[in-house]
Amino acid sequence: MDYDLSKPQKMLQQSVREFCQRQCPLEKVREIMETDTAQDPELWQGIADQGWIGLHLSEDLGGLGLALVDLAVVAEELGRACLPGPFLSTTWAATLISKSGHEAAAKKYLADLCEGSKIATVACFEEESGWAAEEYSTIKANESGDGVLLSGSKQLVGDAAVADIMIVAARGDKGLTLALIETSADGVSIKATPGIDATRKLYEVKFENVPGTVLAIGDDAKRALTESQQVGNVAVCAELVGSMQWMLETTVEYARTRKQFDQIIGSFQAVQHKCADMLLATESSRSAALYAAWALSESTDDADRAVSIAKLFCADSAQKVGGNAVQVHGGIGFTWEHDLHMFYKRNKANEFLFGDSTFHREHVALIAIDAA
Amino acid sequence: MDLNLTPDEQSFRDELRAWLKENVPEEYDGQRGGEDSDGYWQYLRDWQKKLFDGGWAGVSWPTEFGGRGATPIQQSIFLQETIAAGAPEHLGVIGEGLVGPTIIVAGTEEQKAKYLPRILSGEDVWCQGFSEPNAGSDVAALGTKAVLDGDEWVVNGQKIWTSFAQGSDLCFLLVRTDFDVPKHKGITALLVDMKSQGITRKPLRQMSGDSGFNELFFSDMRVPVANQLGPLNQGWKICITALMNERTNLGSSMFTFFDQAVDGLIEHARTRKRNGKLLSECPLKRQKIGQAVADLEVYRLNIARALSRMEKDSTPGPEGSMLKIYWSEMYQRLSQASMEILGDVSQLKDFDGGEWVYRYLRSKGSTIEGGTSEIQRCILAERVLGLPKSY
Ligand SMILES: Cc1cc2nc3c(=O)[nH]c(=O)nc-3n(C[C@H](O)[C@H](O)[C@H](O)COP(=O)(O)OP(=O)(O)OC[C@H]3O[C@@H](n4cnc5c(N)ncnc54)[C@H](O)[C@@H]3O)c2cc1C
């Protein structure tokens, strides 16, 4: 048993870290986030060339056949760099295609996604249904020939403006229907809905009789969607850990150098204790995030619970860590000029993605109380 | 990262599992209540004896001292399996977790032979006499004085907050043996028989109503030089080793205790009603239960990760302070949430034998004992994060 990263995992971590420092330092993050789509094609191609998109998919599907812990290693570094762009959207969509078991779609799209020549996203969230689209989705999937025609609208769709394909969670006659569409199809309208996090853009997408290929229906669709969100959460948790790590290091560095009253502020206990709490929250989150990644990879009995626990713990911790980071920086921490706010805001968006803490606490309670 | 067990680890687990299956006693059905509950202590002592006879006492101790010589990962498996098997909580926190490991590092051959086996068998229960009225967080300021007279130390002074002193056979005592050097350099460690002439013990009542800790007064108490642990005036170093052990061990051995609390809470939520509805139907209570389960699980993972790190670098490091802050503050959150979930009746002493009231009150001591949360945070800030010393 080894809770630590393996040698190859440490090498992967190192190479992602160096890549981000070289290709996307924080000045670059700012430039990219000021654009309409926060997508930089050159950077995207660079990531794809490294093989990090879909690295957890099997090799015959175009991935590297690595485990979810490896995905977490990459995501942690991307979080630590606050790297903009559609990594999470594409990872989610690629996972969903592969989990849906639709071989033709997998053949047709996954290799392109992994190579970076296509970008994908998932349209799942609606205000009344949340992330559990199977329950209340208002999007209708009407059968039409081999496929379906989709009508309705979705919110909070990540990177829709740069996505070539989109998987839509809709409702058909046989329950939840996962349909794949080309975003260039007639009847798709995409409207930017700027959110708190500028490094990943969100959109409202409307569908009017848009033709889609059915990837999965009913229980199969539900299982695929849930599993893809679990994988998404593994990546989100790791991102949050990376972000916390950056905040911790940046804050401690500041506390070591900034002086007031002729003293280093890091010698004041009120400051020290905030930093110590950041350390505890970051490390505890790392324990939880790594475990969730491993458990899901290995399909352990408690994998579902592990993912929910990691998500709520990392999201709540990121709030505390972010709050302390800003406070210890004083006025400068509240400025646009300082980089802190980019992480602080992205953490908030990540907190909501794939279910917030309230959602996951309920899920943990459900398993503990009702499922035993 | 791979949490799968190696073949060696697996056979350790299988052997342990089989043993536990045969030996774990029925759950204690009397009142556990506070630390005064003799029946419960006997139950824990019996369990310790069983562990000892079965070769499972002192899993982390080297085999030459009667332990199992388990690696940190095997310890983690031990923890996991004893929880899963519903085994009782651990008795020998101070003896097995703190005094024993320190004697192994600093003791003479005679001391090892004399004390170690009796710790594991549960025959000797130890207490720890460090704190004094004027030396708490700043233990090194202690003033209990020892003067050499022939081959005996003559001890005068006072200790306070000494847990378990009422039922203890021996005391791990820190005394000042040199007043003319910086405070850390004049302290010596003694292993003291609690039946010695010249000790007076006065129980202190804790806010929970129990007498879990005591005052100890020493008046010309004589301790043979043979009972001195480690070299003269090196007591501080020895004490640091002991405290490091305390911070890591105390935490992991308490896991079962918390785990049982959460299980009990869920059981109540499933069966008790309020306003005609099961407690478990209330969304707010469900949120609190979900949080408690998550808190506890992350604690388990933190322990497993710390032990996995120690597998490669065996010295307990300052991250013990992280575990200490985590479990003590979790204990308080858990106790508070439990009473909120259970509702008004949980304040009654008859409700579950006062278990929830006890936890609610006792947890307040946990962020003080073994180094306060403030001191632990200073340790993390200075030794892990490299911030300047604040005191
Ligand atoms: C339940 C329980 C069991 C115990 N069992 C034992 C035992 O078996 N053996 C034993 O020897 N002792 C035992 N203790 C004593 C315990 O170790 C001390 O109470 C503890 O170290 C604090 O010392 P103090 O009570 O003198 O408080 P003080 O040290 O006076 O602290 C008072 C407050 O000031 C804060 N403070 C002190 N110094 C600093 C600083 N430098 N920076 C910031 N804040 C500071 C503390 O955090 C605390 O909040 C036990 C205590 C309890 C509550």
Same fold, A7-115 and A120-217: no
Find the B215 Cα to ligand 1 centroid distance in Å: 14
Chain A nearest-CA distance from B380, in A, is 6
Query: CB–CB of B182/B231 below 8 Å?
Result: no
Q: At residue B248, does pLDDT exceed 80?
A: no
| Structural domain includes residue B208 | yes
Reported as a pLDDT band with limits 50, 70 and 90, residue B320 is confident
The mean per-residue pLDDT over the stretch B114-134 comes to 93
pLDDT in tens, A52-82: 999 999 999 999 999 999 999 999 999 999 9
Measured CA to CA, the distance from residue B130 to residue B246 in angstroms comes to 13
Encoded amino acid at B277, one letter? K
The pLDDT value given to residue B290:
98
Q: At residue B79, does pLDDT exceed 90?
A: no
Instruction: Inspect the interface and report whether the beta carbons of B384 and A255 lie closer than 8 Å.
Output: no
Find the B243 Cα to ligand 1 centroid distance in Å: 13
The pLDDT value given to residue B36:
53
Number of structural domains found in chain B? 3
The mean per-residue pLDDT over the stretch B134-140 comes to 95
Nearest-CA residue of chain B relative to A266?
B387
Residues B255 and B354 in one domain: yes
Q: At residue A91, does pLDDT exceed 80?
A: yes
The pLDDT value given to residue B108:
97
Reported as a pLDDT band with limits 50, 70 and 90, residue B230 is very high
Q: At residue B215, does pLDDT exceed 80?
A: yes
* A50-69 CB burial, b ≥16 within 10 A, e <16: bbbbbbbbeeebbbbebbbb
Reported as a pLDDT band with limits 50, 70 and 90, residue A148 is very high
**Residue B163, beta-bridge partner list:** B213
Q: What is the Cα gyration radius of chain A? A: 21
Query: CB–CB of B36/B210 below 8 Å?
Result: yes
The mean per-residue pLDDT over the stretch B209-215 comes to 86
Query: CB–CB of B252/B303 below 8 Å?
Result: yes
Measured CA to CA, the distance from residue B209 to residue B207 in angstroms comes to 5
Distances (CA, A) of B383 to A42, B362, B386: 42, 29, 6
Instruction: Inspect the interface and report whether the beta carbons of A363 and B290 lie closer than 8 Å.
Output: yes
**Neighbouring residues of B231: CB distance < 8 A, sequence distance ≥ 6:** none
Residues B90 and B133 in one domain: no
The pLDDT value given to residue A263:
97
Residues B154 and B221 in one domain: yes
Instruction: Inspect the interface and report whether the beta carbons of B290 and A284 lie closer than 8 Å.
Output: no
* List of chain A residues whose C-beta atoms are within 8 Å of the C-beta of residue B293: 309, 364-365, 368
The mean per-residue pLDDT over the stretch A26-47 comes to 98
pTM as predicted = 0.95
Nearest-CA residue of chain A relative to B269?
A369
Which 8-state DSSP code applies to residue B221?
E
Report which of B258, B215, B330 is spatially closest to residue B89, judged by C-alpha positions.
Answer: B258
* List of chain A residues whose C-beta atoms are within 8 Å of the C-beta of residue B325: 276, 280
The pLDDT value given to residue B286:
97
**Structural domain of B221:** 126-233
Query: Which of B262, B385, B389, B391 to mutate to probe the A interface, most A CBs <10 Å?
Result: B385
Domain A222-371 has CATH 1.20.140.10: yes
The mean per-residue pLDDT over the stretch A148-154 comes to 94
- Which of B174, B246, B368 best tests ligand 1's pocket when mutated (most atoms within 8 Å of CB)? B368
Find the B161 Cα to ligand 1 centroid distance in Å: 9
The pLDDT value given to residue B314:
67
Chain B nearest-CA distance from A290, in A, is 8
Query: Which of A1, A250, A280, A370 to mutate to probe the B interface, most B CBs <10 Å?
Result: A1
**Residue B277, beta-bridge partner list:** B274
Q: At residue B71, does pLDDT exceed 90?
A: no
Distances (CA, A) of B134 to B131, B138, B161, B326: 8, 8, 12, 27
* List of chain B residues whose C-beta atoms are within 8 Å of the C-beta of residue A280: 322, 325-326, 380
| Residue A158 DSSP SS3 | strand
Instruction: Inspect the interface and report whether the beta carbons of B9 and A312 lie closer than 8 Å.
Output: no
| Structural domain includes residue B1 | no
Fold that domain A120-217 belongs to in CATH: Butyryl-CoA Dehydrogenase, subunit A; domain 2 (2.40.110)
Closest residue to A267, CB basis, from B290, B304, B388: B388
Query: CB–CB of B87/B256 below 8 Å?
Result: yes
The mean per-residue pLDDT over the stretch B343-370 comes to 93
What is the percent of chain A where pLDDT is above 90? 92
Query: CB–CB of B82/B70 below 8 Å?
Result: no
Nearest residue by C-alpha to atom 43 in ligand 1: B374
As given in the structure block, the two tokens for residue A37 are 């789509």
The pLDDT value given to residue A43:
98
Find the A329 Cα to ligand 1 centroid distance in Å: 31
Instruction: Inspect the interface and report whether the beta carbons of B266 and A368 lie closer than 8 Å.
Output: yes
pLDDT in tens, A278-323: 999 999 999 999 999 999 999 999 999 999 999 999 999 999 999 9
Domain boundary among B100, B121, B142: B121
Domain boundary among B233, B249, B267: B233
* List of chain A residues whose C-beta atoms are within 8 Å of the C-beta of residue B388: 256, 264, 266-267
| Structural domain includes residue B390 | no
**Neighbouring residues of B351: CB distance < 8 A, sequence distance ≥ 6:** B342, B345, B357
Residues B193 and B108 in one domain: no
B246 is annotated as an active-site residue? yes
pLDDT in tens, B5-50: 999 999 999 999 999 999 999 988 776 655 556 788 788 889 999 9
Nearest-atom number in ligand 1 for the CA of B137 is 29
| Structural domain includes residue B371 | yes
pLDDT in tens, B253-270: 788 889 989 999 999 999
Instruction: Inspect the interface and report whether the beta carbons of B380 and A280 lie closer than 8 Å.
Output: yes
Reported as a pLDDT band with limits 50, 70 and 90, residue A88 is very high
Instruction: Inspect the interface and report whether the beta carbons of A1 and B1 lie closer than 8 Å.
Output: no
Neighbours of B15 (CB within 10 A): 12
Half-sphere exposure for A75 (CA within 13 Å, toward CB): 32
Nearest-CA residue of chain B relative to A314?
B298
Mean pLDDT (chain A) is: 96
Query: CB–CB of B332/B363 below 8 Å?
Result: yes
Give domain limits for chain A: 7-115, 120-217, 222-371
| Residue A336 DSSP SS3 | coil
The pLDDT value given to residue B76:
82
Mean pLDDT (chain B) is: 91
- Which of B158, B164, B216, B372 best tests ligand 1's pocket when mutated (most atoms within 8 Å of CB)? B372
Domain boundary among B202, B233, B264: B233
Neighbours of A176 (CB within 10 A): 24
**Neighbouring residues of B276: CB distance < 8 A, sequence distance ≥ 6:** none
Reported as a pLDDT band with limits 50, 70 and 90, residue B274 is very high
Report which of A156, A163, A193, A194 is spatially closest to residue A44, judged by C-alpha positions.
Answer: A163
Residues B262 and B368 in one domain: yes
Query: CB–CB of A116/A48 below 8 Å?
Result: yes
Residues B243 and B229 in one domain: no
CA end-to-end span of chain A, whole Å? 27
Instruction: Inspect the interface and report whether the beta carbons of A287 and B385 lie closer than 8 Å.
Output: no
The pLDDT value given to residue A133:
63
Give the domain CATH number at B155. Answer: 2.40.110.10
Give the domain CATH number at B74. Answer: 1.10.540.10
Residues contacting ligand 1 via CB (< 6 Å):
A 269; B 127-131, 136-137, 161-163, 213, 365, 368-369, 371-372, 374-375, 378, 391
Nearest-CA residue of chain A relative to B374?
A273
Nearest-CA residue of chain A relative to B266?
A369
Residues B221 and B341 in one domain: no
Longest Cα–Cα distance of chain B, Å, equals: 75
Neighbours of B169 (CB within 10 A): 15
CATH architecture of A7-115: Orthogonal Bundle (1.10)
Residues B287 and B375 in one domain: yes
Reported as a pLDDT band with limits 50, 70 and 90, residue A346 is very high
Report which of B247, B367, B326, B317 is spatially closest to residue A288, judged by C-alpha positions.
Answer: B326
Which 8-state DSSP code applies to residue B127?
E
Measured CA to CA, the distance from residue A120 to residue A113 in angstroms comes to 7
**Residue A150, beta-bridge partner list:** A141, A210
| Structural domain includes residue B113 | yes
* DSSP assignment of A241-302: HHHHHHHHHHHHHHHHH-EETTEEGGGSHHHHHHHHHHHHHHHHHHHHHHHHHHHHHTT-TT
Q: At residue A129, does pLDDT exceed 60?
A: yes
Residues B287 and B243 in one domain: yes
Q: At residue B153, does pLDDT exceed 70?
A: yes
- Phi, psi (5° rounding) for residue A22? -80, -50
| Residue B11 DSSP SS3 | helix
* List of chain B residues whose C-beta atoms are within 8 Å of the C-beta of residue A365: 286-287, 289-290, 293
Pairs of residues, one from chain A and one from chain B, whose beta carbons lie less than 8 Å apart: 155
Predicted complex ipTM:
0.96
Find the B261 Cα to ligand 1 centroid distance in Å: 26
Nearest residue by C-alpha to atom 48 in ligand 1: B372
Instruction: Inspect the interface and report whether the beta carbons of B305 and A361 lie closer than 8 Å.
Output: no
Encoded amino acid at A121, one letter? T
Rounded to the nearest angstrom, the gap between the alpha carbon of residue B6 and the centroid of all alpha carbons in its chain is 30
What is the percent of chain B where pLDDT is above 70? 95
Residues B325 and B223 in one domain: no
Query: Which of A304, A314, A360, A369 to mutate to probe the B interface, most B CBs <10 Å?
Result: A369
Distances (CA, A) of B205 to A307, B162, B215, B362: 44, 12, 10, 12
Encoded amino acid at B130, one letter? F
The pLDDT value given to residue B115:
96
- Which of B93, B98, B102, B131 best tests ligand 1's pocket when mutated (most atoms within 8 Å of CB)? B131
Q: At residue B191, does pLDDT exceed 90?
A: yes
The pLDDT value given to residue B249:
60
